[in-house]
Amino acid sequence: MADFTTAKKWLKNANTVIITAGNGMAQSEGLDILSEERFDDQFGKIAAKYDVHTIGDALDKKFATWSEQWAFWSELVNEYSLQYEPSEVMLALKNLIRDKKYFIATSTFAHFFENAGFNENRIFNAFGDWTKMQCSSGINHGQKDDREVVERFLQAIKNDNVTEDLVPKCEDCNSPMELHMPLNANFFPDTDANARFRWFLTGAEDKNVVILELGVDETSPQLLDPMVKLVEQFPNWHYIAADLADEDMPVDLEKRALGFDSNVHDVVLGLTK
C-alpha cells in the first residue's frame, strides 16, 4: 500500500531532489506518443501515406522529403511545446520542490520542464529536445534552437506554400537539420547538460537526497538502474518511485525506497496534499 506519510517525511527532510521523468510524465503533460486515439484525425494524409498511426511511429518514419518532414515536426512542436501549458501535476511538482536544490533528468523531449519554468541549467534531456535541431550528417555539429524554423513552417502550412528551401541547413556542412532526438544514429546527447548532471550528483553525495521517479519505464533504462545504484551507494539518499512497486526495488534498499506502483498524477498530487 502506498505510504505517503513516509514519502512526505523523506521529502521534507531532503535538501536535494533529483527528478527522473519518462513517458508517464509526458502523458501527464498531454503527449502520448503511443496513442492511436487522435492521430489519424489530425494527420490523415501522413497516416494514409506512411501507414503510421501514432506520433511515435511517425517520428520513426523517414518521409519522402525534408520539407514534408519539417512540416509534420513543426505541427507537433507547436502543439506540444509552443502552445504548452503546464498541467496541474507539473504545477504541483514545482511547488513540491520549490525550496530544494534539484536536478531533472528526463527522457521526455518536448521542453515541458523548461516551459514550466524550471531552471534550464538543472535539466538534462537524455533523449534530446525537439525544440532543438541537430545536423543530419551523422557528425556532431552541435544543437540549435529550432523554434523559428517551426514558426516559418507553420506560416507556410497556413499559406499552403511549404517548399524545400524552408528546410534548415547545418552551418558547418550544409546538410539538412533534423530534430534533436534519438531518431537515428545521428543523435548526440547534450554533453554540457550531461556534465552538469554528473557534477550535481557528485556534489550531492553526502546530502539528504530524494530521487523521485516519475513515469520512467523500460524505454529509458538509463534513468532507472543507475539511479537506484546511487541510492544503494549513499546512505543519506532515498528513492521514491511512482511507477515501480516495492518488490521491484533491491532488497538492501528496503528502508530507503518506496514504490507506489501507481502513476505520475496520483503520486505527485498525493505528495503535495
Residue 141 as a binder of Zn ion (CB under 5 A): the answer is yes
Q: Which is nearer to Zn ion, 48 or 173 (CB)?
A: 173
Torsion angles phi and psi, residue 187, rounded to 5: -80, 130
**Minimal distance, residue 175 CB to Zn ion, in Å:** 5
By three-state DSSP, how is residue 79 classified? helix
- Element (H or E) spanning 33, and its range? none
Among 26, 58, 135, 167, binds Zn ion (CB under 5 A): 135
Residue 170 as a binder of Zn ion (CB under 5 A): the answer is yes
Residue 172 as a binder of Zn ion (CB under 5 A): the answer is yes
Residue 180 as a binder of Zn ion (CB under 5 A): the answer is no
Stretch that binds Zn ion, among 48-56, 130-138, 201-209, 258-266 (CB under 5 A): 130-138
**Minimal distance, residue 73 CB to Zn ion, in Å:** 18
By three-state DSSP, how is residue 22 classified? coil
Q: Which is nearer to Zn ion, 141 or 180 (CB)?
A: 141
Number of residues that bind Zn ion (CB under 5 A): 7
The sign of the torsion formed by the CA atoms of 31, 34, 36, 39 equals positive
**Minimal distance, residue 176 CB to Zn ion, in Å:** 9
Q: Count Cβ atoms within 10 A of the Cβ of residue 140 and give its class: 0-12 exposed, 13-18 middle, 19 or more buried.
A: middle
- Element (H or E) spanning 124, and its range? strand 123-125
Residue 137 as a binder of Zn ion (CB under 5 A): the answer is yes
**In whole angstroms, how far apart are CA 183 and each of 34, 178, 180, 210?**
15, 9, 8, 32
**Minimal distance, residue 58 CB to Zn ion, in Å:** 24
Task: Catalog residues that contact Zn ion under the rule CB under 5 A.
Answer: 135, 137, 141, 170, 172-173, 175
